[in-house]
């Protein structure tokens, strides 16, 4: 069965209590559960990883080679400045989809630019927890079209 690595970046471990007016009240566990249901419907398996550390995220992206067919990532604030995470995504032959709970294009100026978007298959932003589901569906569809999944 195909595997997809789900990466949650910094501060996303606090979802549910963190600025609920922006990020909603769902916890990371709620999101992972929602993703697991979608994955099951599409016969894919998910590995979940959350870290507040740039290097740990980079190591996990490297480790995806040979162990995952795709990466679903919410890079949190690293979205806006981590050239190192961008380079890790371009360094591995594993397609990545970028997702955000909030609409980063409708927020502060510094959040409107993603340094990762250009090396991702695409970006989904602004649909709350449903951004993750949409991102997962888009990634599965992409992998099917790339014939990485049957």
| Site residues for ligand DQA per CB under 6 A | 11, 74, 76-77, 79, 100-102, 104, 111
Q: Nearer Cβ to ligand DQA, position 69 or 129?
A: 129
Minimum Å gap between C-beta 110 and ligand DQA is 8
Name the token pair of 132: 């993750």
Minimum Å gap between C-beta 137 and ligand DQA is 17
Q: Nearer Cβ to ligand DQA, position 51 or 74?
A: 74
Rg, C-alpha atoms of the chain = 14
Catalytic residues, by residue number, are: 23, 100
Which among 32, 78, 28, 44 has a CA at the least distance from the CA of 58? 78
Angular region, 16: left φ>0, alpha ψ -120 to 50, beta rest: left
Q: Nearer Cβ to ligand DQA, position 65 or 83?
A: 83
Minimum Å gap between C-beta 98 and ligand DQA is 9
Using CA atoms, how far apart are residues 32 and 129, in angstroms rounded to an integer?
Answer: 10
Distance of CA 37 to the CA centre of its chain: 16
């Amino acid at each position: 069965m195909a595997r997809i690595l789900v990466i949650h970046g910094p501060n996303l471990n606090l979802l549910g209590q963190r600025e609920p007016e922006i990020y909603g009240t769902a916890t990371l566990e709620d999101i992972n559960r929602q993703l697991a249901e979608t994955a099951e419907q599409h016969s894919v398996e998910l590995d979940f990883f959350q870290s507040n550390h740039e290097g740990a995220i980079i190591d996990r992206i490297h480790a995806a080679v040979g162990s995952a067919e795709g990466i679903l990532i919410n890079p949190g604030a690293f979205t806006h400045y981590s050239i190192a995470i961008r380079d890790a995504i371009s360094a591995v032959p594993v397609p990545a989809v970028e997702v955000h709970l909030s609409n980063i294009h409708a927020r502060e100026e510094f959040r409107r630019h993603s340094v990762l978007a250009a090396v991702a298959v695409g970006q989904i932003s602004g649909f709350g927890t449903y951004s993750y589901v949409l991102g997962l569906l888009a990634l599965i569809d992409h992998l099917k079209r790339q014939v990485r999944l049957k």
